[in-house]
Amino acid sequence: MLQQTTVNTVIPYYRHWVRTFPTLVHLARATPQKVLRAWQGLGYYRRAINLHRSARVLCRDFNGRFPEDENILKQLPGFGDYTTAAVLSIAFNRRLPLIDTNARRVLLRLHNIRTGNGKDHEHCLREFLMKNLPRRNINIFNQALMELGALVCRPHAPLCQACPLRLSCQAVRQGDPGAIGTKPKKMFERIRVGAALIEHKNKYFIQRRPPGGLLGDLWEFPGGKAKGAESIRQTLAREIKEELGVRLMSTRAWIRIRHSYTRFKVDLHVWFCRTKPLPKADRSHKWVGLRNLGRYPMPAANAKILVQLQKQKKGENSCEYC
């Protein structure tokens, strides 16, 4: 949960997750839909899918216990070098170095390494850590190093006066630690998207995104990205024809929702739409009543549409920009 996400953001998700799945068996027995719903809003949904698959393998083949063998762990879905080292060192106290973004920044500054993005030096940093890992309490050491990076050796304005490493830190001697290990500011791509609310007999039409792709397996209202100077009406007509094989007959603009994902910002235009004929339901397309829509895991921007629909139902005003 903490990859690419801050602790403060994660805490409520984590608490909800462990209440929903208190043991590995609860997670293994859950439906993929329930797992994705519990993860909704955290992004990088592949991680939730991999956790679920790993729980199933562990329950089926290892009696619900984590194997301590590095090579076996690496065969679990989603277990690369970092996750394997994290589980083995933190849960089993195995003598393995752990380098996340925060730990990497501390090490780069400690050695005043200014070139490249830090990953070029991974091998040297790992060797340095291997030589300096304590004999005991590896779990505490590894977590402390990551925490030092997050709280003290912060990307901008590191708190060097409070740092236990300041006497041996090369970057401090050079006088510019904040210039090391920071990424250039992200440029967001801005995209216009149309979403169609197709309503029939108090039910709304939703569809499941293809598995494996961006936001794969999540449910959404039909629609898509506007191409070039296309109007939202043209976008909706095209997307509905392509995705559902039906014709857009009439539209009514409703609200606009703004949402930022990791790499892009979405300006989502939500319109009520009528089509001819009505789109058909199947395994990946459903007509769902408002009360049940919350059971379907949705990308964050679509979840905001749902909140606005629920407000409208209660007679509360929907905002034009959410």
Least distance CB 108 / ligand SF4 (angstroms) = 9
Read off the tokens for 202.
Answer: 């108090």
Read off the tokens for 15.
Answer: 């608490």
Instruction: Specify whether the CB–CB gap between 38 and 17 falls below 8 A.
Output: yes
Least distance CB 232 / ligand SF4 (angstroms) = 48
Nearer of residues 110 and 273 to ligand SF4, judged by Cβ = 110
Instruction: Specify whether the CB–CB gap between 63 and 22 falls below 8 A.
Output: no
Pairing verdict, β 264-276 and 189-200? parallel
Least distance CB 180 / ligand SF4 (angstroms) = 8
Least distance CB 128 / ligand SF4 (angstroms) = 13
Least distance CB 111 / ligand SF4 (angstroms) = 10
Least distance CB 125 / ligand SF4 (angstroms) = 13
Nearer of residues 177 and 222 to ligand SF4, judged by Cβ = 177
- Cβ neighbours for 14, distance < 8 A, ≥ 6 positions apart: 1
What is the CA 210 to chain-centroid distance, rounded?
17
Rounded Cα gap, residues 148 and 168, in angstroms:
15
Orientation of helix 101-110 relative to helix 138-151, angle to 10°: 80
Rounded Cα gap, residues 264 and 149, in angstroms:
27
Pick the closest to residue 304 from 292, 293, 288, 315 (CA basis): 293
Q: Which residues bind ligand SF4 (CB under 6 A)?
A: 106, 109-110, 152-153, 158, 160, 163, 165-166, 169, 171-172, 177
Nearer of residues 158 and 297 to ligand SF4, judged by Cβ = 158
Rounded Cα gap, residues 184 and 75, in angstroms:
34
Nearer of residues 88 and 171 to ligand SF4, judged by Cβ = 171
Nearer of residues 67 and 178 to ligand SF4, judged by Cβ = 178
Least distance CB 1 / ligand SF4 (angstroms) = 25
Nearer of residues 10 and 160 to ligand SF4, judged by Cβ = 160
Rounded Cα gap, residues 218 and 297, in angstroms:
5
Nearer of residues 169 and 196 to ligand SF4, judged by Cβ = 169
Least distance CB 162 / ligand SF4 (angstroms) = 8
Least distance CB 137 / ligand SF4 (angstroms) = 20
> Which amino acid type is present at position 82?
Y
Nearer of residues 103 and 197 to ligand SF4, judged by Cβ = 103
Please spell the DSSP secondary structure of 104-169, one letter per residue.
HHHHHHHTT--SS-SGGGHHHHHHHHHHH--SS-HHHHHHHHHHHHHHTS-SSS--GGG-TTGGG-
Nearer of residues 96 and 172 to ligand SF4, judged by Cβ = 172
Rounded Cα gap, residues 209 and 215, in angstroms:
7
